[in-house]
Each structure stands twice: as C-alpha cells, then as structure tokens.
Chain A
Amino acid sequence: MSDHDPQFAALYDRHHAFVWRILRRLGVPPASLDDATQDVFVVVHRRRDTLRPGVSERSWLYGIARRVAADVHRGRRRTQRKLEALPSPGQSAPLDDALERAEAADFVRTFFERLDAGHRMVFVLSDVEGMTAPEVAEALELNLNTVYSRLRSARKKFERAVARRQARAKVAHG
C-alpha cells in the first residue's frame, strides 16, 4: 500500500469491503461497483479531515456511499437505452463448490427484496455489516429507539423465513 498516506491506506484496508458491499446493497450494479467504490474513496481522501471526532467511520462512509449510489442511479437512467440494447446475460449454474453459499445468498437477497427499505438497511448495517445500533442510527439519521424497533422486527421476520426454508428442505430431502 501507499507510503504517501499510510492513514488513508489503513482506512482503505479497513473499510474497502464494507463500502463495496454497501454500494451493492444500495443497488449499484455489479458492472459499476469498481468505479463507484473508487468514487467513494476519492471523496474520502478529499474530505478525510472533515471526519469529526466521535463519529463512526462506517457511518460516515455509509453517507458518502449513499450519495455515490444516487449518482450512479442518475447516470444509469441516462444510459438505460444503451444497456437495454445489450442482450441480457443468461444465468448459468454457479460452480459446484460455491453452490450452497450462492443459494443461501440468493435466499437472503430475496428476503431483502420483500422487506421495506427502512427495515432493510437497519438489518443490513447491523446484522450483515456488524455496526452497532448507535452507529446505525448515526448513518441513517434515525432515532436510536427506531433502530432497535426496526431491527427487532426485521430479525423476527428473517428467523421465520429461515425456519420455513429449513422446513421445506427437510420435506424435499426426506
């Protein structure tokens, strides 16, 4: 990593994967993830001195990522015609050694689609990204109690969905 700015390099190391996943969760298409992730860190590099003490780095990064994702969506709407002209890629079967993981990931994504946006992001930041409730409240600009309430509700729904999936699997495999 760079010798010029070791603090920035360390920040990048700590949070690159988080930014990548959050951008994806915010609807940035896979083909644009590279560029969008870079854009986030360009902003981070430029504004890293503005991070106030006591503010969670991830909360701050989430805010930047959300704005970058919004820019991507605006850009996509402008180029939508070009994208529609491309034949849509077919879905081939995943590699055998990653099949189970891919199926589990698909299940979770389907669950997220059925969850409303407010509950979804609380659940993602908390239980996928491991942020604390205060960090989530800060990132999403929500009241702390609202975060707890939504997290409780989302976890209940997720557990029910997982239980149904397990039950179906038992029935299918005997």
Chain B
Amino acid sequence: MAERSIPELSPAAREMLGALRADESPTAGQRRRQWAALQQRVGGPSASAASVAPAVTGARGLYYAKVVAVTMALAAAVLVAVKLVGMGVATLDERAREPAVEAPYRGGAESEGGQARSGGPSPGSVDRPERPAAAAPGEGQSEAVVGTEVVVQTPVESAVVRDVAEPESVRPRPRPSPRPASEPASAASSLMAELALIKEATAAKQQGRTAAGLRALQRHAEQFPKGTLADERRVLRAELLCAAGRPDEARAEVRSFLRQRAGSALSGRMERACPEGS
C-alpha cells in the first residue's frame, strides 16, 4: 500500500513542526475572548447587539461590549442626523413660502385730528413720547395741561422691544444647525481605525514583537489621545513594556492607571501587567 512506503519523520523534523504549531497556536486568553464574542453573535434573539452585558464578564468581554454599544449608538446618531437634516430642509422650505412680514412701524404718530396713536408704545417707536391730545381750541384754557404723559422707553427696554418686535424676515433667529450626516459616520470609521491599531499591537505582543507593538500604540496615542480604546492602549503598553524588559516604565504606567482609573474594568488586568519579579 502507498501508506507503508512513506517514511516516518525524524525526531528533529517533528520537533521543528511542533515548534511551528506552538508558535502559531492561540493562547487560552484568545480562545476565551473569542468564545465570549461568539456567544454574543450566535446566542439567539436575546443576545442582540444592543445588549451591553456580555455572557462572560471581565475586561475582554467589556471591551467587545463597548465596541458593540458605541457602534450601535453611532448608527442611531446617523439616523437622527439624517432626520434632522430632513426636518431642517422642510423648515427652510416652509419659511420660504411664508409671506414677507412688513417692516415695523417706525414713523411718527399717526394722527387723526392731531391725536397721537394711543395704547402704549408701538413697536419700534422708541424714544418717541406720546403726547396727549392737544386741547381743542376754545376749550377752557384754564384747564392746565397737567401730567403730560410722556412715555419714554429706557435704552434697555427699547432694545428688548426691538429684539422681540423685529420680524424674522428682517433679522433671522439663529437656529442650531443640524448635525451633519457625515459626523457620526466619520466617528464610526474613527473607532474602526482605533480597533485596527489596538489589534495590530495585540498581535505584535502575541508574536513577541514588542517594539512593533509599542510603535502601534504610539500611533494610537497620537491619532486618538482620548479615544474610546484609550484604556486598552494603556494596559497593552504596560504589558509590552514589561515584555520588552522595561519593568520600571511598565510599573509606572500601572501605578498611574490604577490611580486615575481605579474603577475601570481593566484594573485587574493592569494589576497583572508587570508583576514583581518580571
């Protein structure tokens, strides 16, 4: 039979193939992390992408939950932005159809037989005193015209009246501009870019390429100083520094993180990033 004519591999050859297998195998942590993410995907209707509580708790489960939650929020923001843009366009369209509002009354008092328009200050009629009706000729001159009522608006009031009275066609009211539809979309692609750099650093760490991993994290820090995955970056950095034979720097990073981010789900992992004796 053909099988019997195949020579067995030598021990040296087997050892080399074993080294390749070990080098290319996933770690237990990778296996657990992927299982957690897989459960989210295949867990059924209840394990929707909007669920924030992964079946497996811990730093890595929270990492994926964070990514899923942020992505869903960004997708919702895109929908809201599109709706706002649509509403904004509709509103502008409505205004364009509105009849032009006449300019406010700014002239002097209209008079009918010398009488000033009564009834309080008219819009825009600033600093224009209203005078009482002049006494009809012939009426008792002895009647003194007393208490001439002069309505004088203070500068502040006049400004308020002016603001309230001015029609929008003359002075359009500032309206919040709708969020551009591109903003949530660019935020989503920003998150993907962050993910790519963190993954690159993680892969480099697994392969023992500490310098490459630190360079990827440096790029992340420069491009996304306050990115969504900033905590993950700091923990990875401490782990890579420790693996690169720089324990003092690693432990400084650990102490700083635990001081600033004591409540983070990554605290446990950070505490183990560079134990004494590393």
Contacts and interface: CB of A to CB of B under 8 A. Distances in A.
Interface stretch (A61-69, A70-78, A144-152): A144-152
A98 B70 CA distance: 38
Interface string B1-15: 011011101101101
B140 to A, nearest CB: 96
B34 A37 contact: yes
B213 to A, nearest CB: 8
Given A17-B25, A104-B16, A31 B196 contact: yes
B31 interface: yes
Contacts of B269: none
A9 B26 CA distance: 17
B200 A101 contact: no
Q: Which of A31, A33, A34 has the most CB of B within 10 A?
A: A31
A63 B7 CA distance: 28
Contacts of B22: 101, 105
Interface residues of A, number: 54
Interface stretch (A50-58, A113-121, A156-164): A156-164
B211 A21 contact: no
Given A2-B55, A92-B212, A155-B6, A30 B38 contact: no
Interface string B54-80: 010000000000000000000000000
B150 interface: no
Interface residues of B, number: 51
B272 interface: no
B19 interface: yes
Contact of A105 (B20, B39, B211): B20
A4 B24 CA distance: 30
A45 interface: yes
B267 interface: no
Contact of A128 (B20, B34, B206, B210): B20
Contacts of A104: 15-16, 19-20, 23
Interface string A107-138: 11100000000000000000111000100000
A125 to B, nearest CB: 12
A110 to B, nearest CB: 11
Nearest to B216: A89
B260 to A, nearest CB: 28
A172 interface: no
Given A21-B25, A30-B203, A31-B200, A162 B10 contact: yes
Contacts of A127: 9, 17
B200 A98 contact: no
Nearest to A101: B19
Given A2-B55, A30-B207, A90-B211, A42 B42 contact: yes
A171 interface: no
A104 to B, nearest CB: 4
Contact of B208 (A87, A102, A152): A102
Nearest to A29: B203
Nearest to B204: A89
B37 interface: yes
Interface string A20-60: 11001100001101100110011001100000000000000
Contact of A42 (B38, B199, B212): B38
A168 B55 CA distance: 53
9 contacts: A17-B26, A20-B26, A42-B38, A86-B196, A87-B215, A92-B208, A98-B23, A108-B17, A162-B12
> Which 5 pairs show the lowest CB-CB distances between chains A and B?
A89-B212, A92-B211, A104-B19, A105-B23, A148-B2
